[in-house]
Amino acid sequence: MARKKTNEIIYSPPVIDFVTVAVEFCAFLENEEERPRQEWLETIVRLLPLIYLKATLLPEVVSINEESLQPFVREEDYARVAEKITLLLGEDDTYLDVFVEDMKYSDTPISAFISENIADIYQDVRNFVSVYQYELTEQMNDALCVCRDNFRTYWGQKLVNVLRPLHSLLYTNSEQLDDEGEDINLYDSWD
């Protein structure tokens, strides 16, 4: 009976929705194809809110096993994702973050990095997705429990924090391209 209940949870529509978005997010970050910066920003700004929304809908679960799950994401995987974002964003990778614990004790702004925050989110989400690929019921349940708990206490806040600078990078360009690819200065149309 307990196994049936666990199956109902791990294969429930909210969990499958989260898995679907999580797989897309991981595939996007793992893709070795170079994308133009604007296209990358448009995609990540759409994926992150979806992950956040789907994570908020994950059901309550209790861990079954006493042993911790083995992480799938290696240090090299994390570094590859972070480095790719750093190279793409350049100096725009750094932003000021006011929602960090150290800010309580600081008189100066605290710098954060878009690349590190996204890599942190990726690490947890990828570990979760990797367990689901093996379709082992108890491990899937525990991976769901860990991912949900980590979302609430760790990477959920990182996700919301990183959306602010990403939004700014995507939408504050004063120059855009018209249909023929020519630069348009939006401020010229105000005259």
Burial of 123 (C-beta count, 10 Å sphere; 0-12/13-18/19+):
buried
Give the domain extent around 89.
2-172
For residue 70, give the CATH number of its domain.
1.20.120.1550
Q: What is the pLDDT of residue 135?
A: 85
Q: Does residue 73 sit within a domain?
A: yes
Rounded mean pLDDT, 174-181: 47
Residue 180 lies in a domain: no
Whether 102 shows a pLDDT value over 60: the answer reads no
Q: How many domains does the chain have?
A: 1
Q: Tell me, yes or no, whether 179 lies in a domain.
A: no
Residue 97 in this model has a pLDDT that exceeds 90: no
Q: Find the Cα–Cα–Cα–Cα dihedral 86, 90, 92, 93, rounded to 10°.
A: 20
**Is the pLDDT score of 177 beyond 80?**
no
Residue 11 placed within a domain: yes
Strand ranges in 78-172 using DSSP code E only, listed in sequence order:
94-97, 110-113
- The answer to whether residue 185 sits within a structural domain is no
Would you say residue 64 lies in a domain?
A: yes
pLDDT of amino acid 108 = 72
Query: Which of 64-78, 88-102, 176-190 has the least mean pLDDT?
Result: 176-190
Tens digit of each residue's pLDDT (9 = 90 or more) over 138-157: 999 999 999 999 999 999 99
Answer yes or no: is pLDDT of 49 > 50. yes
